[in-house]
């Protein structure tokens, strides 16, 4: 289950003033190169774990993924649609669905007005070849405000009407709303093509409590904080993830009544994760 992933369009700055030696001229005006009408974002990642809102999707083992996103840049913003895939290990020995992988389909619209940006879309999580159906969908709204060119604050909302299709077990829909706040600071520590940033997130997943199926309220708080190095299109991220899960609440959100301690200790425990990712646009590839 991946949260989702948006790729912004980088803007190149051009200078276009001709200089005549015998007359004074104004300083050249910087102009943003217009984005191509059509573009494609591509990327991939490998990491020591795949963590989704504080819950491991790979049994605390290394895994990776990739995505492909088509973008249309119009006068009212950018329309996009993409597909992403990730390796998972949701083990059947603790009652999970044991799928072969996670495949995500998503689409939406994003735009920026000065310091404010907005991203609205739809995400579908598909788990092929699993022993029982845990596919689910979300609609999302992500907003961000650039306090300074280097400091950005964001808020996110993700809503699903049927989390992990737990209605198959409980006989009623299990809807859930995830809300979070993010902060990212691009540090002044740069050298050549190297850069860095510090970022974090605090979120709350409000999951509908279904008596008779959930032994305890499955809702929980999740947070992460980390430091990342960037080199051109490559990011090396070092991040700590944690939640306020108990063994029982972990079992509830995983949909495993009576789950073993291993399920809680393995899938819902705190984790330090190292991830290397690559993100670029075809228009930037030369």
DSSP character at residue 28: P
Query: How does strand 271-281 pair with strand 55-56?
Result: unpaired
What stretch of H or E contains 41? Answer: strand 38-47
Kindly calculate the radius of gyration of the chain based on its CA atoms and give it in whole angstroms: 21
pLDDT of residue 203: 98
pLDDT of residue 76: 94
CB under 8 Å to 106, separation ≥6 — which residues? 4, 81, 82, 83, 84, 121, 122, 123, 124
Q: pLDDT (tens digit, 9 = 90+) per residue, 252-262?
A: 888 775 555 66
Among 179, 261, 253, which Cα is nearest to 223's? 179
Q: pLDDT (tens digit, 9 = 90+) per residue, 111-132?
A: 999 999 999 999 999 999 999 8
pLDDT of residue 27: 42
Characterise 266 by phi-psi region: left (phi > 0), alpha (psi -120 to 50), beta (else). Answer: alpha
DSSP character at residue 94: G
Q: d(Cα 1, Cα 91) in Å, to the nearest integer?
A: 15
Show the low-confidence residues of the chain (pLDDT under 50). Answer: 2-30
The answer to whether the beta carbons of residues 21 and 35 sit under 8 Å apart is no
């Amino acid at each position: 289950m991946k949260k989702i992933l948006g790729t912004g369009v980088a803007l190149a700055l051009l200078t276009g003033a001709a200089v005549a030696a015998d007359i004074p001229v104004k300083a050249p005006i910087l102009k943003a190169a217009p984005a191509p009408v059509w573009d494609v974002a591509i990327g991939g990642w490998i990491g020591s774990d795949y963590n989704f809102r504080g819950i491991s999707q790979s049994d605390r083992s290394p895994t990776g993924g990739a995505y492909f996103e088509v973008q249309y840049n119009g006068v009212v913003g950018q329309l996009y649609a993409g597909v992403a895939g990730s390796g998972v290990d949701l083990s059947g020995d603790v009652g999970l669905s044991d799928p072969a992988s996670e495949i995500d389909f998503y689409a939406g619209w994003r735009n920026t007005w000065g310091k404010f940006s907005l991203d609205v879309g739809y995400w579908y999580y598909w788990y092929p070849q699993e022993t029982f159906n845990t596919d689910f969908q979300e609609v999302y709204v992500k907003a961000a405000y650039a306090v300074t060119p280097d400091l950005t604050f964001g808020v996110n909302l993700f809503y699903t009407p049927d989390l992990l299709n737990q209605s198959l077990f409980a006989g009623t829909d299990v809807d859930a709303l995830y809300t979070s706040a993010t902060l990212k600071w691009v540090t002044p520590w740069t050298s050549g093509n190297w850069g860095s940033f510090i970022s974090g997130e605090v979120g709350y997943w409000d999951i509908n409590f279904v008596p008779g199926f959930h032994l305890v309220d499955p809702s929980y708080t999740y947070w992460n904080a980390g430091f990342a190095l960037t080199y051109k299109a490559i990011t090396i991220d070092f991040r700590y993830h944690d939640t306020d899960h108990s063994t029982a609440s972990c079992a509830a959100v995983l949909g495993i009544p009576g789950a073993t301690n291993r399920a809680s200790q393995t899938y819902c425990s705190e984790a330090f994760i190292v991830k290397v990712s690559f993100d670029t646009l075809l228009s930037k590839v030369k």
